[in-house]
Amino acid sequence: MKKKHIIFTSIILIITGAIIAGFYYDYSTKPIRDKYREYILNEIEREQRENDCETKK
C-alpha cells in the first residue's frame, strides 16, 4: 500500500513540475519570440513594397 502511494505521489509531482516548467519556458521566451515575429513582419512588408515598386515600373 505504501509503495503505491509513493509511486502515485511521484507521478503527480513529475506532471506538476512539467506543467510549471512549460509555463516558465513559454513566458521566458515570449519577448524573444515577439521580437522575432516583429522582424519577420518587417521583412515581409519590405519585400511587398519592393515587389510593388517592380510591378509599377
C-alpha distances in Å from residue 5, one per residue of 13, 18, 30, 52: 12, 20, 38, 67
Looking at the whole model, is its pTM more than 0.75? no
* 3-class state of residue 23 by DSSP: helix
Of 17, 37, 35, 13, which Cα lies nearest the Cα of 25?
A: 17
Q: What is the pLDDT of residue 14?
A: 96
- The pLDDT, as a whole number, for residue 57 is 57
The C-alpha atoms of residue 53 and residue 57 are separated, in whole angstroms, by 6
pLDDT in tens, 5-57: 999 999 999 999 999 998 887 777 777 777 788 888 898 998 888 888 777 65
For residue 55, what pLDDT is reported? 74
pLDDT score at 56 = 66
Is the model more confident about 1 or about 9? 9
Which cell goes with 4? 503505491
Rounded Cα distance, 25 and 30, in Å: 8
